[in-house]
Homo-oligomer: A and B are copies of this chain.
Amino acid sequence: MPGAWTKKDLLGLDDLNKEEIELILSTAESFKEVSTREIKKVPALRGKTVVNLFYEPSTRTRVSFEIAAKRLSADVINIASETSSVRKGETLIDTGKNIEALKVDIIVIRHNYSGAAAMLARNVHASVINAGDGWHEHPTQALLDMFTLKEKLGRIEGLNVSIVGDIAHSRVARSNIWGLTKLGANVTVCAPKMLIPPAIGQMRVKVTSDIDEALADADAVNVLRMQFERDAQNAFPQQLEYFRHFGITKERLQKAKKGIIVMHPGPLNRGIEISSEIADGPNSVILEQVTNGIAVRMAALFLAAQANENISHENTD
């Protein structure tokens, strides 16, 4: 295979080059079919142990990784921070070293601190897959977004992709920007000014606060989830205001390209960042993203396990 995978970990798309991203996407393509079989299972990771180490609750991402690992025949162990030694004050590095000592092959980590996945990866020989770390990256989400784009539109190079929502605090946005620009897409981010990160100038993207401008030439729009629930008492007027200015509605899409693809990482806030009509309409590929998440995570687990085995063999030879 040209450009075989050599990295122990998958921490973010910022770390990967074009060939590596393409390798994950093409590996995912070959795994997608497994989930359509009558017996949805291949023996690729039989006898491997995958730990889902989740410091933030996230049923969707945990379940997607768990199903992906099980369809590869791996043994899966779930650890949620609510019930873990973390409560007894153990550091992330100690937790990681203890998990590694169990002869685990892959640790999938979700953590509220940016950089947690990388810190863990530096301290264990097991492969680490970042399932979201703070505001930093959520690489498998971006990869499944790209997989879906490629599947629907035939390519990523040259596409105009707009990302709408709280760019400043979104690991989904960040991973998408790195991945899409490396594969040659033209990315526009659209948000209220206070939700645009100051460092956006260093990323090769167009910035706007005008939703109609963001949609005008877009081949696809990726609608981020707004997290108003953290500030519940003030949320309602803010939500209406946000919907009025940035909500993806039928009216706005009618002015966009006819075949525009609408994506969303879920879970949806219907009537806040997107209208139900659009979320459930013909342009939406939101549920296909969920399906593709399994294929992309199977690919990530498979490549990480393979690379780690090669690395281990080098060490012992």
CB-CB nearest in chain B for A60: B85
How many chain A residues touch B (Cβ–Cβ < 8 Å)? 56
CB-CB nearest in chain B for A82: B83
Question: Is the Cβ of B40 less than 8 Å from the Cβ of A49?
Answer: yes
Question: Is the Cβ of B83 less than 8 Å from the Cβ of A80?
Answer: yes
Question: Is the Cβ of B101 less than 8 Å from the Cβ of A290?
Answer: yes
A234 within 8 A of B: no
Q: A84-B59, A101-B290, A267-B90 are in contact. Are A40 and B48 (CB under 8 A)?
A: yes
Question: Is the Cβ of B75 less than 8 Å from the Cβ of A67?
Answer: yes
Q: Which of A64-118 contact B (CB under 8 A)?
A: 64, 66-67, 70-71, 75, 77, 79-80, 82-85, 87-91, 94, 97-104
A1 within 8 A of B: no
A266 within 8 A of B: yes
B-contacting 9-mer, from A9-17, A31-39, A162-170, A198-206:
A31-39
Bound CA–CA A114/B57 (angstroms): 27
Copies in the complex: 3
A291 within 8 A of B: yes
Q: Which residues of B contact A71 (CB under 8 A)?
A: 47, 49, 75
Q: A90-B267, A267-B88, A268-B90 are in contact. Are A77 and B63 (CB under 8 A)?
A: yes
28 CB < 8 A contacts A-B = A35-B102, A39-B47, A40-B103, A41-B46, A47-B71, A49-B67, A49-B71, A57-B84, A63-B79, A63-B99, A64-B102, A66-B77, A67-B102, A67-B104, A88-B229, A88-B267, A89-B229, A90-B266, A90-B268, A91-B270, A94-B266, A98-B290, A100-B287, A101-B287, A101-B288, A101-B291, A102-B290, A103-B294
Q: Which residues of B contact A77 (CB under 8 A)?
A: 63, 66-67, 70
Bound CA–CA A288/B57 (angstroms): 31
A27 within 8 A of B: no
A309 within 8 A of B: yes
Question: Is the Cβ of B101 less than 8 Å from the Cβ of A85?
Answer: no
Q: Which residues of B contact A38 (CB under 8 A)?
A: 47, 309
Bound CA–CA A234/B130 (angstroms): 38
Shortest CB-to-CB span from A239 to chain B, Å, is 11
